[in-house]
Amino acid sequence: MKKIILFVVVGFLFSGISAQKFDNLAKTPPMGWNSWNKFGCNVSETLIMGAADAIVRGGMKDAGYEYVIIDDCWQVSRDENGEIVVDKDRFPHGMKYVADYVHSKGLKFGIYSCAGTKTCAGRPGGFGHEYQDARTYAAYGVDYLKYDWCNSTTQEARSSYTNMRDALYKAGRPIVFSLCEWGQNKPWEWAGEVGHLWRTTGDISDSWNSMITLFSQQKDLARYAGPGRWNDPDMLEVGNGRMTTEEYKTHFSLWCMLAAPLLAGNDLQNMTPETKSILLNKEIIALDQDTLGRQATCYRDNTDYQIWIKALADNEKAVCLLNKSDEKKTVLVDFALLAQANSGRRGGGSRNGAPLTIDNFRVRDLWDHKDLVMKEASMYIDLLPHTVKVFRFIKK
Ligand code: GLA
């Protein structure tokens, strides 16, 4: 009898172990760089290693950017054993060499594949090769896998992604698992058990309309995000040239308010000072990386003008005023009211029960890098078209 009980207990433990994602990864939203938005299929070891160098040299590593991710088009075929074959012209030294180089810079290495038979760019997908590919990625030294959804035909999303999750776990190397099925099967409802982040929308493009539309689609998803499980409204377009500097500041601010993954998608080796100052705004990044891991909620919605609030650790909060319109707006902001707003905090209010009033806080403008000088608790604020103001309520 004892033996049977032991067998059942061990069996239970084993089944528990064999079916899970890697815990304790992505406790804050992943930060890094991905090749797709700027370079598309034009990837090579020179590009990826150059990006790693630039992350270190330009101060991005110090600011928290960590993952260097090759998106689609690094793979060309499968060999007679079903092994994925790397494009030898573009990656002459193979993928382990690139991974080793990225690791030698103190960074982490990410790669891309697809749950379907082919990737979105028509390269070999992972379908039917999940366990084999997971072992290969582990052998390369991969730390992050983005898994796409093209050519998945009749596959069921949850079971397909769970299969790859289990394959990664079995391969034994901790890998952040990024689901990319574009929000088609409401991944926020089930992907927390499967991966560490999941795309909630179709692809971003480098335009104000695309960016602000994707942002709006996150409005009802805040409750699904938290440490180790993030909504992903797609990668950053900051610095790619088709939005104004002010619009890129808005884009970056909103992504940080959402606790979105921060994957730069620009040419890191040729950045303007404006682009650098946005991607390296550590006070804004700190909102994204806050350990409480809450996604902002919309506190006031006057369509063109919105107020978003993100609860932060230690009873602090971030407030973002957003002017979506094409006209300048002057808004009267009641900071005393905002100090009390509970910003979607689960449980609400201050943890020790003390009321939070404006007297508890100083209010810092995170783009001006200055505390607000307030004569009264309410003040008029000018918002140019397509801009934000981002304030942090810092406990005195
Ligand atoms: C899909 C994804 C993009 C990118 C491309 C690559 O469109 O959503 O982010 O990975 O595939 O082909």
Model confidence over 265-311: pLDDT tens digits?
999 999 999 999 999 999 999 999 999 999 999 999 999 999 999 99
Residue 203 annotated as catalytic: yes
Residue with tokens 């992350």: 55
**Predicted local distance difference test score (pLDDT) of residue 202:** 98
CA distances from 146 to 37, 135, 361 (A): 14, 15, 40
Cα separation, 120 vs 118, whole angstroms: 7
Residue with tokens 């932060």: 312
What phi and psi, each to the nearest 5 degrees, are found at residue 129?
Answer: -125, 20
pTM of the model: 0.94
Ligand 1: residue whose CA is nearest its atom 3: 203
Q: Which of 133, 148, 267, 288 is catalytic?
A: 148
Cα separation, 163 vs 11, whole angstroms: 20
Tokens of 80: 């007679």
**Predicted local distance difference test score (pLDDT) of residue 300:** 97
Cα separation, 121 vs 280, whole angstroms: 32
Pocket around ligand 1: residues whose beta carbon is below 6 Å from it?
Answer: 36, 71-72, 119-121, 148, 180, 203
- The shares of helix, strand and coil residues in the chain, as percent rounded to the nearest 5, are 35, 25, 45
Cα separation, 115 vs 126, whole angstroms: 5
**Predicted local distance difference test score (pLDDT) of residue 3:** 54
* Closest atom of ligand 1 to CA, residue 73: 12
CA–centroid distance, residue 206 to ligand 1 (Å): 14
Cα separation, 297 vs 257, whole angstroms: 9
Residue 148 annotated as catalytic: yes
CA–centroid distance, residue 189 to ligand 1 (Å): 22
Decide: residue 52, CB within 10 A, 0-12 exposed, 13-18 middle, 19+ buried.
buried
Tokens of 265: 């998608």
**Predicted local distance difference test score (pLDDT) of residue 9:** 47
**Predicted local distance difference test score (pLDDT) of residue 342:** 73
CA–centroid distance, residue 123 to ligand 1 (Å): 12
Q: Which residues of the chain have pLDDT under 50?
A: 1, 7-16, 347-349
DSSP per-residue codes, 233-266? -----TTSSSS-HHHHHHHHHHHHHTT--EEE-S
Cα separation, 163 vs 334, whole angstroms: 50
Choosing from 147, 203, 214 the residue with most ligand 1 atoms within 8 A of its CB, the one to mutate for a pocket test is 203
Helix (H) or strand (E) holding 305, with range, is strand 305-311
Tokens of 279: 């991607």
In sequence order, the β-bridge partners of residue 302 are: 305
- The size of the chain, in residues, is 396
**Predicted local distance difference test score (pLDDT) of residue 355:** 77
The Cα diameter of the chain in Å comes to 77
